[in-house]
Chains A and B, each alone.
Chain A
Amino acid sequence: MNFAFTEEQDQLRDAVRRFMETKSDEKEVRRLMETAEGYDPELWAQMANELGLQSLHIPEAYGGQGFTFIELGIVLEEMGRALLCSPYFSTVGLATNAILNAGTEEQKSALLPGIAAGETIAALAFTEPNGRWDASGITMEAKGSGDAVTLDGTKMYVIDGHIANTIVVVARQAGSSGEDGIGFYVVDGDAAGLTRTALTTMDQTRKQAKLEFAGVKATSLGDSDTGWTALSKTLDQAAVCLANEMVGGAQKVLEMSVEYAKVRVQFGRPIGSFQAIKHKCADMLLEVESAKSAAYYAAWAAAEDNDELPVVASLAKAYCSDAYFHATAENIQIHGGIGFTWEHPAHLYFKRAKSSEILLGDATYHRELLAQRIGI
């Protein structure tokens, strides 16, 4: 039994933290969140070339480094801490896993090396205007099979869909319902008949797009009608990734709160000496440490790809969603008026926490999923 990171994993964390501190400081986050694209292409290339981040958990056979979800979790945690504006989660956390879970050998060999090299940005177009995260939310129909598929309909809330070069679309066979007939389809970002609209997001640090398909030609990724198993697994893996990302932001706002509570003086003493504030910070620590335990354990289960994954993925997503949001809300409260201003970074984390909570299904959704998965 050993629940700790290895020395090499600690070194990876240090390297990514240093990189983020110089490349994604608050000024840079604010600059990028005001842009339509929402990321820096140069930084995207550096992430691939200098640190190999995009290729981390892609198997070596497809141009990757063959690390696991534990290393991926570490990287995402550091990105969450820095509020990095980047299509990393969409490309690596969502689309790459979809391709790995659903694609044929040939397709993986064709699609993954570009992602690993930082040349491809990829998105997973799953949700629709109904905003649902379960199988029944998928209504878009795919006509045809193999490399002669046509897609019509609308995908919404697609993370980084406006800048992706490759889009993995989830659609269903005509006449199917529920978990039957779900399939993955690959479309180029600039395909004919595809209209992409960048949406204005409440959390400006993570961009979303609306994708309208009008007779778009697509290729089936793997089997065109048995995709639910692969999609469900992809969503579990993505939930684990997101839980780790959220933990990074939660730890950061805890540090902000504690630092401020030590220096802000009212009634002649630091506000952190009052139990009202001290106890808030103590509760934040409890929740942040517990969120870490859940996210790290879930990353291990994803790395092992064992039977525990569905349960611990929902468990981690539910707990980390609540813990992150609570920490960012308390951070504003502890900062008082200054925490409510645009100038202070507290709102950036608060908004990221809320958008991450909702992304992939909120805590209530995952607790219900968990209840089903443990047989309640």
Chain B
Amino acid sequence: MRAGETLRLLFRGPTAIVAAAVLLVLIVTAFLGEQLAPHDATGTDVSNRLQAPSADHWFGTDELGRDVLSRVILGAEVSLRVGAVAVGISLVAGVLIGLLAGYYGRWVDDVLMRLSDVLFAFPAMLMAIAVLAILGPGSTNAMIAIGIVYTPIFARITRASVLSVREEVYVKAARSAGAGDLRIIGRHVLPNVTAPIIVQTSISLAFAILSEAALSFVGLGTQPPDPSWGRMLAEGRGFVEQAWWMAVFPGLAIFVTVLAFNVLGDALRDVLDPRQRQAMAGTGVTA
């Protein structure tokens, strides 16, 4: 299927359009960040602490008098960056592992996939916390930790597709013409396994952002004073009764972002590979 056709089918219905629009707004927000924020996100103003939402502070202020809206805006950049880099790591590592395991089979497959299984066997959060316990807290290490956690998912999905593409007649045709493994993998296998990988990327972005928020919530991700949705949620938790806005707005931001990525991922899956729906339901992918 050609790219233009895919996009046309994808944006047939309103849900995918809305999801894509939300994500576009988020990405623009993340890029502009400082320029968009009405106040200094890290500047404290104790005399204005715990102010309810008003014309000046749309989302209110936190316990140090910082503008919640500005912090949510700057938090978008953190969340998207950590999510994108983390998924980038698992995408590259996972696809590479999946290609090698699926294409070469035998002991290569056994070694790589058993290692993946070991990683996969741990609950995602526990695994990420363990990695951060070794590397130390911080947003860079959070990216690495989340990247490691999601690598086996990409490895499995890629491998499954490679196993079927490997047996295609056009692969044999390339081999009969004298193509080496590198050429076959790069030119014939990889381009034909992209659909499920694209879908998984979109869905993983949602989970990665959720994981970053969770890690920051427990204090292992983004460190203060940098704004992070997860951290803001954690800080707001103590003030839920006096200042609901401190927790509700960053929570909403996480909710909307994750939902948008999930909806887009689902729509992509419907368009790119309707059969994949069942295959992935079986892997038990959860945050």
Verify that A and B bind, or say they do not. Answer: no
B-side residues, CB < 8 A to A, are none
